[in-house]
Structure 1
Amino acid sequence: MFEEASEVFDNMFKSSFPLTFIVFIPAVLILVSPLPAEAAHEFTVYRMQQYDLQGQPYGTRNAILNTEARTVEAEVLSRRCVIMRLADFSYDKYQKALRQSAGAVVIILPKNMSAMPQDIVQQFMELEPEMLATETIIPVYFAMEDDELLSIYTQTLTSSSSQVLLHTATANGFQMVTSGAQSKAISDWAITSLEGRLAGVGGEDLPTIVVVAHYDSFGVAPWLSYGADSNGSGVSMLLELARLFSKLYTYKRTHAGFNLLFFLSGGGKFNYQGTKRWLEDNLDHTDSSLLQDNVAFVLCLDTLGNGDSLHLHVSKPPKEGSPQYYLLKELETVVSSQYPEVKFSMIHKKINLADDMLAWEHERFGIRRLPAFTLSHLPSHRLAQRSSIMDVRPHVDVKKLSRNTKVVAEALARVIYNLTEKGAPGDLQIFTEQMQVQEEHLSAVVDWLTAQPRAAQLVDKDSSVVSTLEYHLAHYLKDVKRHYVKADKRDPEFVFYDQLKQTMNAYRVKPAIFDLLLAVCIAAYLGMMYLAIQVKEIGWLLR
């Protein structure tokens, strides 16, 4: 059979050479032409933030991608998906993609972000607010590094930087396509906050101390925002304080004449929306509230899981003889006598109502004329680690968090039991032995909080985060309640959008220049065949 076929082909070549090529070569091209493209790789991408706050849009406005991949080294980026690695990322390169009207940007993150060099981590944390500061039309995605994705990046980098036409035409390209629809606003989203209390003893008109921490996280991409130090450390400390003082309030001898109110606020990273609504509900829409009576002070806990310094941020310096002044002095006493390695200071900053965002959570209370301050190891609210996807579990030093918790617990106890006026020495420790701060408990809470992203757009009222926090509060406190805040439909304070986590496919394709080159080759071939036929016909006529 094969011998007969070979004889047929041999006769075709000998008898009609040009005609044979006209029929045979196209048949070969059809047979060896590439099969329809198959997905080279499927991976999860996390879209950059998209939200509106006080009517101002932030983040990316698009969630659909279907375009060819390029690296930022390519000359032309228009309508291309620009892929870059975090190690090579810079704001100038990012702006280059935006200026050239790229179709999208995909930033590849390492599997272990905590292992990245600190200079790269710090640089990216400082760039995150700039990326979110303005509205971006094109979709911006983040993807976790794996072998196949790195291979796609390497091949794209080679084809993007190649100056050889033949290599550019024959190199493998990738068509990046996302699944899912265009992003749209989420209606009726409820931000949930939690409160619980320990009632004091000795009368009805007792002073109230409020301890506050916001539990949501924030970063350039919601699904990558774990908020370990800001504010997983603050939530962990609040729960530990609730546990310690619930034990003290169990016994008649140590049941103090102060009401303790614990509040876990939602929407903290969105200008403290949960706190704002909670204050409105308690001060404007009810006749009986602990906040309407005698508030000694409000202590907000924010970013306390590292460092060897503690800063008490205030909007107004406390007056001498006031409860907040006593707390300031007790903090100084405990730090100087028990933890001399810690540097403690008070930082005064007035509330700037002209800013779109409040600096610290205590300013929400200060606007309503409640004495409040925020305790943090950060000297400024502008530091990048408060709102970064780089704020991961290794950023919390549990030993330092435990030490800071002990400082706050001891200072609060000295105020509640008036120990200084009773002549108690500064090195007197209340929380020892059976009552000591449990480092294991703090570590377990931080581990759990950082096991899932807690961006406000991802934590609804049915979330396991809310239900678990509610369970822990109910274990130590009384009258645990939920508070919800929904955006006003006519003039919403905040608007969240969906499509924050998508699947992206990278399809292996040839670049557009390959089609052009193939067309030129086919045209040249047909021209040569036409000339060959004409020459042969002329030869027949001359015979």
Structure 2
Amino acid sequence: MFEEASEVFDNMFKTSFPLTFIVFIPAVLILVSPLPADAAHEFTVYRMQQYDLQGQPYGTRNAILNTEARSVEAEVLSRRCVIMRLVDFSYEKYQKALRQSAGAVVIILPKNMSTMPQDIVQQFMELEPEMLATETIVPVYFALEDEELLSIYTQTLTSSPTQGSSTAAEGVHVLDRAHSRSKKYLSGRLAGVGGEDLPTIVLVAHYDAFGVAPWLSYGADSNGSGVSMLLELARLFSRLYTYKRTHAGYNLLFFVSGGGKFNYQGTKRWLEDNLDHTDSSLLQDNVAFVLCLDTLGNGDGLHLHVSKPPKEGTPQHALLRELESVVASQYPELKFSMVHKKINLADDTLAWEHERFGIRRLPAFTLSHLPSHRLAERSSIMDVRSVSPSSRHGAGLPPAGPHVDLRKLSRNTKVVAEALARVIYNLTEKGVPEDLQIFTEQMQVQEEQLSSVVDWLTAQPRAAQLLDKDSSVVSTLEHQLGRYLKDVKRHYVKADKRDPEFVFYDQLKQQMNAYRVKPAIFDLLLAFCIAAYLGVMYLAIQNFGLLYSVIRKVTQPKAKTH
């Protein structure tokens, strides 16, 4: 049967060119149509933050993307996916894409962001809060640069001015509210000796990180440094409280909170549980002061942020005095100052964690190397620990963005430990010299321990949306605190489903597909050709008799004349 069919087609092609053309064109279209798209590439993208806090929406509100790609230099960006690299990023270009109702924005980041020039890093960190300040309908994604993605970007950049062959980006996702995800906090204590009604010193640090994209938020300095310092202080004072001779008359309470970047929700719920429910309270005793540790891994200064200056003769004033004396006598190169800022309840978010305690009338401070809460270093995806500052210095490059300098973190930890010890053991009143160092030899601060904790914390993103109840971060912190403290407990904080204070959204990490395709004008031209062909075929069928007679006349051989 197949042999007969092949003979028929062979004879048809040899004897009739118009018939050959009519059959050949559809065959070519059928064979060519299923060919795969050229230059297809699948890559991971990270969506910009999307959350509601106190009823106010923040970040991008959409995740649907199936558009043609263009660089930001193109004249028309409407319903296009705008691709730009971090080195070319600016707020003006970003706003241009939003004003022209772009279909989406994809910002390509280098794999190792800590190697970027300082001016570019600083500029982007300052723009992150601006990008999150209001809700954005346009989907905004971040992608890590690789060779294929860079090649696609180069092709898009080349084709944008000419509107030639372009790139189509596709990634359709379904958003879902995830407000039921719980925040956690951990607490443990070292009990003092000498009676039941002992003053309590509370040491606090929040463990979550924040940035414009949750899956890129590692928080090395903010607040990996604060958590590592708290664990090291727990280790040092647990050893002091082991021996009767050095067992002080203060209770030490260590508290690690979640939701710190979302208006300190974990701290708020912990205070409600321990101040409003007297049956299981840890704070009904005499609280000497609360010291919050936040962003302490760098800098040439220490700043004690207070909402109310401490009065002379109080434990709070004693801590301030001891911090000043330890810095002046043991680390004269370090600058220390007290920064006074009143709590502004009209603001949407609190400035520092100690303000949560101040609202409940508990004496509290925040110690940080940052002089202001508004600095971009506290909430940036540039706060990573992939390249050490010493490596950049050896390469002749300045430090890029926030980072953790282990020497300075170790120094700051020792300053806090020495000042706390002088307060707890009342060493100044006993006439102990200010330059006498307590934590030396076997009791000294271990820089390796601090380094291992920071490395572990920055090995994974710690955005609050990503840390569920089974998170290894919380489990490991609980284990570490349990090595040094007693009565370590884990508590969960869930948002009220009826009137939640915070609402998180998922689908923050997805796969995106990019294809190199022909421009839209090519599709229009192809459609016109197909329509014309079908029109010709329709007319040929309707007038087949006339067409057949014409073909017979053309193809019939002329009779020979003698």
Structures share a fold, TM > 0.5?
Answer: yes
Give the equivalent residue in structure 2 for 1:90.
90
Give the equivalent residue in structure 1 for 2:381.
389
Give the equivalent residue in structure 2 for 1:122.
122
Q: Distance in 2 between matches of 1:134 and 1:182?
A: 21
Moved more, 352-361 or 386-395: 386-395
The code of the aligned residue for 2:171 comes to: T
Encode CA deviations 1:364-423: one digit per residue, 9 max, x unaligned. Answer: 000011110100000000000100000001410011000000000000000001111111
Encode CA deviations 1:140-174: one digit per residue, 9 max, x unaligned. Answer: 111111111111111122221226xxxx2xx2x33
The code of the aligned residue for 1:195 comes to: S
Encode CA deviations 1:66-89: one digit per residue, 9 max, x unaligned. Answer: 222222122222222211111111
Q: Distance in 1 between matches of 2:266 and 2:160?
A: 48
Give the Å deviation of 1:32: 4.8
The code of the aligned residue for 1:424 comes to: V
Q: Is the 8 A contact 2:179 2:502 kept in 1?
A: no
Where do 1:58-97 residues align within 5 Å?
Answer: 58-97=58-97
TM-score (norm 2): 0.88
Give the 3-state SS of the residue equivalent to 1:264 in structure 2: strand
Question: Does structure 1 residue 516 correspond to structure 2 residue 509?
Answer: no
TM-score (norm 1): 0.91
Which among 162, 165, 169 is matched to residue 176 of structure 1? Answer: 169
Give the 3-state SS of the residue equivalent to 1:270 in structure 2: coil
Give the equivalent residue in structure 2 for 1:147.
147
The code of the aligned residue for 1:278 comes to: W
Give the equivalent residue in structure 2 for 1:106.
106
Q: Distance in 2 between matches of 1:6 and 1:524?
A: 25
Give the Å deviation of 1:288: 5.2
The code of the aligned residue for 1:511 comes to: P
Encode CA deviations 1:337-363: one digit per residue, 9 max, x unaligned. Answer: 101110000000000000000000000
Give the equivalent residue in structure 1 for 2:430.
422
| Residues 288 and 37 of structure 1: CA distance in aligned 2, closer, same or farther (over 3 Å) | closer
Which among 334, 358, 366 is matched to residue 350 of structure 2? Answer: 358
The code of the aligned residue for 1:441 comes to: Q
Encode CA deviations 1:323-349: one digit per residue, 9 max, x unaligned. Answer: 110110100101011011100000000
The code of the aligned residue for 2:431 comes to: G
Q: Is the 8 A contact 2:178 2:503 kept in 1?
A: yes
Q: Distance in 2 between matches of 1:427 and 1:44?
A: 54
Question: Does structure 1 residue 305 correspond to structure 2 residue 297?
Answer: yes
CA RMSD of aligned residues (A): 2.6
Give the 3-state SS of the residue equivalent to 1:457 in structure 2: helix
Question: Does structure 1 residue 193 correspond to structure 2 residue 193?
Answer: no
Give the equivalent residue in structure 2 for 1:403.
411
Which among 233, 241, 248 is matched to residue 256 of structure 1? Answer: 248
Give the equivalent residue in structure 2 for 1:485.
493
Q: Is the 8 A contact 1:216 1:454 kept in 2?
A: yes
Q: Is the 8 A contact 1:208 1:290 kept in 2?
A: no
Moved more, 387-396 or 266-275: 387-396
Give the 3-state SS of the residue equivalent to 2:465 in structure 1: coil
Give the 3-state SS of the residue equivalent to 2:59 in structure 1: strand
Q: Distance in 2 between matches of 1:485 and 1:527?
A: 68
Encode CA deviations 1:288-322: one digit per residue, 9 max, x unaligned. Answer: 53412211110000000001100000000110111
Encode CA deviations 1:205-243: one digit per residue, 9 max, x unaligned. Answer: 111100000000000111110000000000000000000
Q: Is the 8 A contact 1:83 1:106 kept in 2?
A: yes
Q: Distance in 1 between matches of 2:98 and 2:425?
A: 60
Unaligned runs of 5+ in 2: 389-402, 541-545
Give the 3-state SS of the residue equivalent to 1:391 in structure 2: coil
Q: Distance in 1 between matches of 2:184 and 2:271?
A: 14
The code of the aligned residue for 1:446 comes to: V
Give the equivalent residue in structure 2 for 1:469.
477
The code of the aligned residue for 1:466 comes to: V
Aligned residue pair count: 527
Give the 3-state SS of the residue equivalent to 2:464 in structure 1: coil
Which among 444, 461, 485 is matched to residue 453 of structure 1? Answer: 461
Q: Distance in 2 between matches of 1:292 and 1:34?
A: 73
Give the Å deviation of 1:436: 0.1
Give the 3-state SS of the residue equivalent to 1:250 in structure 2: coil
Q: Distance in 1 between matches of 2:8 and 2:23?
A: 16
| Residues 514 and 472 of structure 1: CA distance in aligned 2, closer, same or farther (over 3 Å) | same
Give the equivalent residue in structure 1 for 2:212.
220
Give the 3-state SS of the residue equivalent to 1:143 in structure 2: strand
Q: Distance in 2 between matches of 1:473 and 1:33?
A: 63
Moved more, 283-292 or 223-232: 283-292
Which among 257, 262, 265 is matched to residue 270 of structure 1? Answer: 262
Encode CA deviations 1:37-82: one digit per residue, 9 max, x unaligned. Answer: 3781111111111111001111111222222222212222222221
| Residues 33 and 502 of structure 1: CA distance in aligned 2, closer, same or farther (over 3 Å) | closer
Give the 3-state SS of the residue equivalent to 2:491 in structure 1: strand
Give the 3-state SS of the residue equivalent to 1:299 in structure 2: strand
Q: Is the 8 A contact 2:12 2:19 kept in 1?
A: no
Q: Distance in 2 between matches of 1:522 and 1:491?
A: 58
Q: Is the 8 A contact 1:39 1:505 kept in 2?
A: no
Q: Is the 8 A contact 1:62 1:182 kept in 2?
A: no
Q: Is the 8 A contact 2:13 2:20 kept in 1?
A: no
Q: Is the 8 A contact 2:80 2:104 kept in 1?
A: yes
| Residues 6 and 51 of structure 1: CA distance in aligned 2, closer, same or farther (over 3 Å) | closer
Encode CA deviations 1:492-536: one digit per residue, 9 max, x unaligned. Answer: 1111111111111123332211112334556788999999x99x9
Which among 232, 242, 265 is matched to residue 240 of structure 1? Answer: 232
| Residues 499 and 527 of structure 1: CA distance in aligned 2, closer, same or farther (over 3 Å) | closer
Unaligned runs of 5+ in 1: none
Give the Å deviation of 1:34: 6.4
Q: Is the 8 A contact 1:360 1:374 kept in 2?
A: yes
Q: Distance in 2 between matches of 1:490 and 1:278?
A: 21
Question: Does structure 1 residue 289 correspond to structure 2 residue 297?
Answer: no
Question: How many percent identity over aligned positions?
Answer: 84
Q: Distance in 1 between matches of 2:354 and 2:128?
A: 24
Give the 3-state SS of the residue equivalent to 1:274 in structure 2: helix
Q: Is the 8 A contact 2:105 2:141 kept in 1?
A: yes
The code of the aligned residue for 2:432 comes to: A
Q: Distance in 1 between matches of 2:113 and 2:441?
A: 38
Q: Is the 8 A contact 1:193 1:265 kept in 2?
A: yes
Which among 445, 448, 452 is matched to residue 444 of structure 1? Answer: 452
The code of the aligned residue for 2:148 comes to: E
| Residues 6 and 492 of structure 1: CA distance in aligned 2, closer, same or farther (over 3 Å) | closer
Give the Å deviation of 1:105: 1.2
